[in-house]
Structures are given as structure tokens and as C-alpha cells.
């Protein structure tokens, strides 16, 4: 009875450690996400001199109505800090892949707009990127694993986004 209750009673001195299975899951997740991130970065850098965040910015913009988006929302979607986004948009602007526009409805607002050149760059780079994603992740998973992973990621994402 005690054993059962302790599972749900967190205190300073009584930690619910991860068992071997849970630990293995967590370790695998962390290592793999770092390794994959590194590989993706490497591929994009070699193919187009882009970083992964930069590529993601292009993707999100390309799928956004009018190929444009407010800075804050873009930062949320791509999961970077506001200052990191400012920096990256500056870089992309120098490269001519993105432009800034003032927001009509909000004087403070800034719109990041994908340029023609940006769209072409994305179209040129995407195949190689997708190939890496397939080769190391997607194509290696069964339908069931893909489904379960997506479900798991969504639950966690939801929890993280809704809490602070």
C-alpha cells in the first residue's frame, strides 16, 4: 500500500528514478536528436551554406499564406529565441532569401517575407535534406513506430507549449 502511494507522492527526499527501460529511452532520445541535428546541419551547410534554423525558417515561410509571417510567430514555430530569429533573418536578408516588411495592422510588427530567390533556394535544397531525413529516420521505422513516435512527440510538445 505504501509502495503504491509513494509512486504518486513526490518529496524532496523521495525521487522516482527512471528504471532501466525509461533511462534507455531517454538516453536514446537525447543522443539521437543530437546526432541527427548534427548530420542535418552538416548536409545543409555543404549543400547550400544554410543552417538548420535557416532552412526551417524558409520552410515555414514557404507554407505560410503570402509567404510571410510575423517575427514572434515565426520564432515560436521554429523554436528559437526572438534574438536568435532577428539574427538569422538578418543573415537570410543579406543572402537575399528573405525580406523584411512592415506589418500593416501593427506598427510595431515586422513581417519576414520569403523572396523568389528564397523559394528557389528552398526548392533546390529540399531534396537533399529530405533524403537525409529519410535515410536516417523515416525509412528506418515501421508504420507502428512512426505512429507511436509522432503521438509521443505531440504529447510532449503540447505539454511544453502549454506550460509557460
Partner DNA sequence: CGATGGTTGTTCAGATTTGAACAACGACTC
Partner DNA sequence: GAGTCGTTGTTCAAATCTGAACAACCATCG
For residue 108, the minimal CB distance to its own copies (Å) is 25
Q: Which residues contact 74 (CB under 8 A, 6 or more apart)?
A: 57, 60, 61, 85, 112
Binding site for its own copies (CB under 8 A): 10, 12, 15-18, 21-22, 24-26, 28-39, 56, 79-80, 126-127, 130-131, 133-138, 140-141, 144-157, 159-161
106 binds, among its own copies, DNA, none (CB under 5 to 8 A by kind): DNA
Select from 98, 95, 37 the least CA-distant residue to 62: 98
Residue 53 near residue 90, CB atoms below 8 Å: no
Residue 116, contacted partner among DNA, its own copies, none, CB below 5-8 A by kind: none
Nearer to its own copies, 13 or 105 (CB): 13
List residues near DNA by CB under 7 A: 38, 41-42, 51, 53, 70-72, 80-91, 100, 103, 106-110
Amino acid at each position: 500500500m505504501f509502495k503504491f502511494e509513494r509512486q504518486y507522492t513526490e518529496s524532496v527526499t523521495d525521487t522516482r528514478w527512471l528504471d532501466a527501460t525509461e533511462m534507455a529511452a531517454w538516453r536514446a532520445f537525447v543522443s539521437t536528436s543530437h546526432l541527427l541535428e548534427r548530420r542535418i546541419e552538416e548536409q545543409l551547410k555543404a549543400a547550400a551554406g544554410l543552417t538548420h534554423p535557416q532552412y526551417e525558417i524558409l520552410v515555414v515561410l514557404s507554407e505560410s499564406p503570402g509567404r510571410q509571417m510575423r517575427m514572434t510567430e515565426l520564432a515560436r514555430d521554429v523554436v528559437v529565441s526572438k534574438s536568435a530569429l532577428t539574427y538569422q533573418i538578418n543573415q537570410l536578408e543579406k543572402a537575399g532569401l528573405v525580406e523584411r516588411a512592415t506589418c500593416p495592422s501593427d506598427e510595431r510588427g515586422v513581417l519576414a517575407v520569403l523572396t523568389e530567390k528564397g523559394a528557389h533556394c528552398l526548392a533546390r535544397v529540399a531534396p537533399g535534406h529530405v533524403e537525409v531525413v529519410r535515410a536516417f529516420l523515416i525509412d528506418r521505422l515501421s508504420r507502428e513506430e512512426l505512429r507511436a513516435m509522432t503521438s509521443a512527440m505531440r504529447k510532449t510538445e503540447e505539454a511544453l507549449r502549454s506550460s509557460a
